[in-house]
Amino acid sequence: MIPKTFNEVIDLGDGREIKLETGKLAKQAHGSVVVQMGNAMLLCTVVSSYKESSLDFFPLTVDYREKFAAAGRYPGGFFKREARPSDGEVLTMRIVDRVLRPLFPSDYRTETQVMIQLMSHDEDVMPDALAGLAASTAIQLSDIPFETAISEARVGRVNGEFVINPSRSQLLESDIDMIIGASADSVMMVEGEMDEISEEEMAEAIQFAHEHIKKQVEAQLRLAEAFGKKPTREYNPGKEDEAIEKKVHEAAYQKIYDIAKGGHSKRDRGEAFSAVKEEVLALFSEEELEENEKLIKTYFNKVEKEAVRELTLAEGIRLDGRKTDEIRPIWCETDYLPSVHGSAIFTRGETQALATVTLGTSREANTIDMPTHQGEETFYLHYNFPPFCTGEAYPIRGTSRREIGHGNLAQRALKGMLPENNPYTVRVVSEVLESNGSSSMATVCAGTMAMMDAGIKMKKPVSGIAMGLISDGERHAVLSDILGDEDHLGDMDFKVTGTADGITACQMDIKVKGLPYEILVKALKQARNGRLHILEKLTETISEPNESVKAHAPKIITRRIPNEFIGALIGPGGKVIQELQKTTGTEIVINEDPVTEEGIVEILGTKQEGIDKVLAKIDSVTFKPEKGSVYEVTVVKVLDFGVVVEYNDAPGNEVLLHISELAWERTENVSDVLKLGDVLDVKYFGVDPRTKKPKVSRKALMEKPERSPRKEDEDKKS
């Protein structure tokens, strides 16, 4: 018998609905829900161990997977089975994790896993916008301690009107693509890309999404109530000791405050804080340390956070001595690496990124093969964050989720500024060499300069800045160009990128509850001032894209040819094109335009001479003589019944000049008139309806001799 189900419906206000269902699937999970919009269905489960972990952090895993069967497709590859998550799946995991994680109790230490699976796909529904709603609903249906229900929604703007959870086709016409995560009271996460919008427009988009999220939160609470809200489980909240907390505070607060006020470098400051920590630990006996060392260190970290925040709020002074709106010193350099197609160094304070650009053909495009989306990216950016950039040593085990997320943010910031007619596939790689505050924004700046150095005709240069916020409810300080420590100690970390004319991408994590929109807009405007300052530094280094690509970089020429000539250019078994690439030192790629069915030929080479030879071959292959036109030809073969001639303007294109078309008078021997290598003009008459072959004539260009009366009489008699 099918079990009883509990359902809720969320009306999106435009005829579309989101349905929540529980009670039918995955009943052994601690919470499970099916979220459906159109034909798209996501199953989300949550399980949290009842046994406390020995780890000193909250071991939360958020996993999002798209099943190929959901779209009626087979996985690619040899094994025909879903394997490691794609970058798109990882990005969805991150946007859900960033909203959920802060809402679990800070002292909760049990292994918790949220699994979201796309089980059915709808072309008109983008499932990543539903993942946060699914995760929060599953948690609400469980007994896991969690502060408040949340949800996430995508917002677009088409023809000036905001659209909630737009389809992929609508996004193609939208100038905004943002996902917002929020509770009923507070916005907590924003991520997306925009087409140079203003700070006020961005705030309006966030507010629009928040109003829809409030309805989604209410639906979750109604479903949990109908299903039967489970009592929140009890767990060991961890040890507390007021006496120890007071002792640590009295011993450390002022010392930390004074060190923080000293404006030291990251290393010196870290060493000074560590020295104070050792002094605090020395105040306790070996027996006390054996029992409470972890608790003492926790209280020390709490005091450190309190002192640094108070310094900024009370005196407007930051850890490195800067004012709240001050940007660290910047230096930049382009063309640093001699062999790459484009390179740039961007250094801001103790953060440094070295970006490289590689130019290629459509063959180097990045293939996207997900159940919900297939396509190619001709611009993509990769971000690497090695251990040495923070002075650490640890094993490297593949690309981290953080690297994927930061690279995607920088890619979204820059991609809108590529020219429409850019012929290249462009790969940007950012190597983070130092990090103390927003290496992703350093990547945007280095990437901009590297592309201009490579000769990419960017519409406008882009810069980025990481901002922070410290607030105690009454006082607040907006911090420009935050340090790594300020990111950890603050109430908001938001990164904003843009041109001089508007925002192109953003990523925000907001920890303070009920942040007024006025403060958000103020922070965004302060970010704009910082962006423009950084942009000025970039354009001092390189103000315009280089006129051409570097001498050792490939030049690319694109030529369209009629579909009927593609086979001739490729040749049997690829013989013609392979030989052409070998002799010209070029790379040739031929694609077919699905709309016009023309052949798109891309020629990539470092030497213009080789490219010109390929173009000449294309002209030769696609040559079509026009009826009535005169062409210069060369005799390439002498036959008994005529000569074979080659068009001088189209080498390789040959046609028979019949013996009867050599001269007006009768020709007995071809060799009496023409020999091998002779150059002459012929007139083209089109296809001869009798022979069905092209007809050319030499005699048509010669004056016809006058016939004598006697010859005419003889002809009549005959």
Q: What is the pLDDT of residue 567?
A: 86
Flag whether pLDDT at 215 surpasses 60.
Answer: yes
Q: Can you give the pTM of this predicted structure?
A: 0.85
Classify 471 as helix, strand or coil.
strand
Residues 6+ apart with CB under 8 A from 20: 7, 8, 9, 10, 33, 34, 35, 137, 219, 220, 223
Q: Are 198 and 503 in contact (CB under 8 A)?
A: yes
State the DSSP code for 594.
T
What's the rounded mean pLDDT across residues 578-596? 88
Residue with tokens 């927003």: 438
Q: What share of the chain is helix, strand, coil (3-state, %, to 5)?
A: 35, 30, 35
Query: In 104-262, at which residue ranges do the beta strands (DSSP E only) sit?
Result: 110-120, 150-158, 161-164, 176-183, 187-197
What is d(CA 184, CA 253) in angstroms, rounded to the nearest whole number? 36
CA angle 567–569–570, rounded 5-degree value: 65
What is d(CA 596, CA 691) in angstroms, rounded to the nearest whole number? 33
Q: What is the pLDDT of residue 717?
A: 52
> Which tens digits make up the pLDDT trace of 260-281?
888 888 888 889 999 999 999 9
Which stretch, 72-76, 133-137, 300-304, 311-315, has highest mean pLDDT? Answer: 133-137
Identify the weakest region by mean pLDDT among 217-221, 346-350, 594-598.
594-598
**Nearest CA to 467 among 349, 325, 309, 305?**
325
Flag whether pLDDT at 707 surpasses 70.
Answer: no
Classify 717 as helix, strand or coil.
helix
CA angle 524–530–533, rounded 5-degree value: 145
CA distance to 515, 525, 526, per residue, from 474 (Å): 11, 20, 19
Flag whether pLDDT at 526 surpasses 60.
Answer: yes
Classify 499 as helix, strand or coil.
strand
Classify 503 as helix, strand or coil.
strand
Q: Delimit the domains of the chain by residue range.
A: 6-227, 242-315, 330-484+493-499+516-541, 555-622, 629-701
Maximum Cα interatomic distance, the chain, rounded to a whole number of Å: 140
Measured N-to-C along each axis, helices 517-541 and 199-227 cross at an angle, to the nearest 10 degrees, of: 130
What CATH architecture is 6-227?
Answer: 2-Layer Sandwich (3.30)
What is d(CA 219, CA 255) in angstroms, rounded to the nearest whole number? 50
Flag whether pLDDT at 715 surpasses 70.
Answer: no
What's the rounded mean pLDDT across residues 140-147? 96
Flag whether pLDDT at 166 surpasses 80.
Answer: yes
Flag whether pLDDT at 349 surpasses 60.
Answer: yes
What is d(CA 62, CA 48) in angstroms, rounded to the nearest whole number? 12
What's the rounded mean pLDDT across residues 226-238? 89
Q: Regarding the domain with residue range 555-622, which homologous superfamily does it belong to in the CATH classification? A: K Homology domain, type 1 (3.30.1370.10)
Flag whether pLDDT at 156 surpasses 50.
Answer: yes
712: confidence class by pLDDT, cuts 50, 70, 90: low
**Nearest CA to 616 among 648, 587, 592, 589?**
648
Flag whether pLDDT at 708 surpasses 60.
Answer: no
What's the rounded mean pLDDT across residues 174-194? 94
Flag whether pLDDT at 670 surpasses 70.
Answer: yes
% the chain with pLDDT above 90: 56
- Label residues 1-16 b or e (16+ Cβ within 10 Å = b): eeeeebebebebeeee
Classify 510 as helix, strand or coil.
strand
CA distance to 80, 209, 405, per residue, from 182 (Å): 38, 9, 20
The strand pairing partners of 60, in sequence order, are 112
What CATH architecture is 330-484+493-499+516-541?
Answer: 2-Layer Sandwich (3.30)
718: confidence class by pLDDT, cuts 50, 70, 90: very low
Q: What is the pLDDT of residue 716?
A: 53
Q: Are 503 and 196 in contact (CB under 8 A)?
A: yes
> Which tens digits make up the pLDDT trace of 370-425?
888 888 899 999 999 999 998 889 998 889 999 999 999 999 999 999 998 888 99
Flag whether pLDDT at 713 surpasses 60.
Answer: no
% the chain with pLDDT above 70: 98
State the DSSP code for 26.
-
Residue with tokens 């409470």: 292
Q: What is the pLDDT of residue 714?
A: 52
357: confidence class by pLDDT, cuts 50, 70, 90: very high
What's the rounded mean pLDDT across residues 9-14? 93
Does residue 593 have a known ligand-binding role? no
> Which tens digits make up the pLDDT trace of 469-523?
888 878 888 999 998 888 778 888 889 999 999 999 999 998 877 777 888 888 8
Flag whether pLDDT at 710 surpasses 60.
Answer: no
Identify the weakest region by mean pLDDT among 232-241, 346-355, 627-636.
232-241
Q: What is the pLDDT of residue 237?
A: 81
Does residue 56 have a known ligand-binding role? no
Q: How far is CA 139 from the centre of its chain?
A: 31
What is d(CA 166, CA 4) in angstroms, rounded to the nearest whole number? 32
**Nearest CA to 315 among 466, 159, 475?**
475
Classify 298 as helix, strand or coil.
helix
Q: How far is CA 311 from the centre of its chain?
A: 38
Flag whether pLDDT at 426 surpasses 90.
Answer: yes
Identical fold between 330-484+493-499+516-541 and 555-622? no
Give me the DSSP letters along 665-691. S--S-GGGT--TT-EEEEEEEEE-TTT
Residue 196 Rama label (left phi>0; alpha psi -120 to 50; beta): left
Task: Give the fold, CATH level 3, of 629-701.
Answer: OB fold (Dihydrolipoamide Acetyltransferase, E2P) (2.40.50)
Output 705 or 4, whichever has higher pLDDT. Answer: 4
| Cβ neighbours around 284 below 10 Å, total | 17
User: Mean pLDDT across the chain, nearest whole number?
Assistant: 90
Q: Are 530 and 325 in contact (CB under 8 A)?
A: yes
CA angle 493–458–502, rounded 5-degree value: 40
Classify 347 as helix, strand or coil.
strand
Flag whether pLDDT at 711 surpasses 60.
Answer: no
> Which tens digits make up the pLDDT trace of 310-340?
999 999 888 888 898 999 999 999 999 999 9
Question: Residue type for 127, please?
Answer: P
CA angle 266–268–272, rounded 5-degree value: 115
The strand pairing partners of 158, in sequence order, are 161
Q: How many residues does the chain have?
A: 718
Residue 626: both structure tokens together: 């026009």
State the DSSP code for 551.
T
What is d(CA 200, CA 194) in angstroms, rounded to the nearest whole number? 13
Question: Residue type for 92, please?
Answer: T
- Label residues 574-600 b or e (16+ Cβ within 10 Å = b): eebbeebbeebebbbbeeeeeeeebbb
What is d(CA 118, CA 683) in angstroms, rounded to the nearest whole number? 67
Flag whether pLDDT at 709 surpasses 80.
Answer: no
Q: How far is CA 146 from the centre of its chain?
A: 32
Helices (H), 587-667: 608-621
Flag whether pLDDT at 348 surpasses 90.
Answer: yes
Task: Give the fold, CATH level 3, of 242-315.
Answer: Arc Repressor Mutant, subunit A (1.10.10)
